Amino acid sequence: MRFTSRQHLDSGVLEREFTLGETPGTLWTPGSTAPVPLILMAHNNGLPKAQPRLVARARHCAAYGFAVASIDAAGCGDRPLSAADEQARADLGRAMRAGEPVDELFESLVGPLVEGAAPEWRATLDALLAQPGIGGPVGYSGWAALGIRLAVTEPRIAAAGFFAGGYVPRVQRAEARRVGVPLLFLLQWDDEGNPRRRALDLFDAFGSREKTLHANPGGHTGTPWFEVDDANRFFARHLT
């Protein structure tokens, strides 16, 4: 793991870019030097780790007292998609805008994206836990499909916050019953890209004994800021 840049924020948070093999990542750590829990923060369907809403959440979460990391896994952010995946992403966007059925397009694009991303996140987790000041336990926050895969394959993940969840590949919908960690499931009641009924069915399917649903009115990007604080308290309850 090689750090390529560092920036000190007014909050005391240290923001560092790193690379791990082919994988570019960002690590946010609080001012304190004592070991802190780690939260892996991923964006739905391969949006870039530099996306401003993710960066704002990550900085806030680190200022609260967690180490936070995000990566651009294969097919995410600036990393190249195959011509076929580029085509599938374009077709998916067009079909969603046109209100056409998207399940097969979604499956063909996001299914492989999750399969490809999970090993890179696990390798990143290994490398991060070897860093000074990152003690674990480990939380996961964000992209539901990737989080389900990590939660059922990665025993070091002790709590998870998932967002949206209206579209999740078949494999992860089936894996949801095997998710057992405490869960905070956040959805937007009027999410234009995530059918409410499907998101509620996914919440119902999770095997976790402790799982909490939070829902607010508005579209996909309309989550109120207080949910970021609620998520910090959720992770504090389970990781500290």
Per-residue H/E/C for 38-95: EEEEECHHHCCCCCHHHHHHHHHHHHHCCEEEEECCCCCCCCCCCHHHHHHHHHHHHH
Structure tokens at 104: 């097969």
Q: Binding a copy of itself by CB under 8 A: which of 1, 81, 123, 213?
A: 213
Q: Binding a copy of itself by CB under 8 A: which of 16, 212, 220, 228?
A: 212
Q: Is 210 in the site for a copy of itself (CB under 8 A)?
A: yes
Measured from the CB of residue 183, what is the shortest distance to a copy of itself in angstroms? 10
Q: Is 217 in the site for a copy of itself (CB under 8 A)?
A: yes
Structure tokens at 47: 């949006």
Structure tokens at 75: 């097919």
Measured from the CB of residue 198, what is the shortest distance to a copy of itself in angstroms? 14
User: Which residues 6+ apart lie within 8 Å of 114 measured at CB?
Assistant: 145, 146, 149, 169, 171, 172
Q: Is 226 in the site for a copy of itself (CB under 8 A)?
A: yes
Residue type, 86: E
**Chain centre distance of CA 71:** 10
Q: Is 211 in the site for a copy of itself (CB under 8 A)?
A: yes
Q: Is 214 in the site for a copy of itself (CB under 8 A)?
A: yes
Q: Is 198 in the site for a copy of itself (CB under 8 A)?
A: no
Distance CA 1, CA 130 (A): 10
Q: Binding a copy of itself by CB under 8 A: which of 11, 87, 108, 216?
A: 216
Q: Is 215 in the site for a copy of itself (CB under 8 A)?
A: yes
Q: Is 189 in the site for a copy of itself (CB under 8 A)?
A: yes
Measured from the CB of residue 208, what is the shortest distance to a copy of itself in angstroms? 8
Measured from the CB of residue 221, what is the shortest distance to a copy of itself in angstroms? 16
Measured from the CB of residue 44, what is the shortest distance to a copy of itself in angstroms? 21
**Binding residues for a copy of itself, per CB under 8 A?**
189, 200, 203-204, 209-217, 224, 226, 230, 237
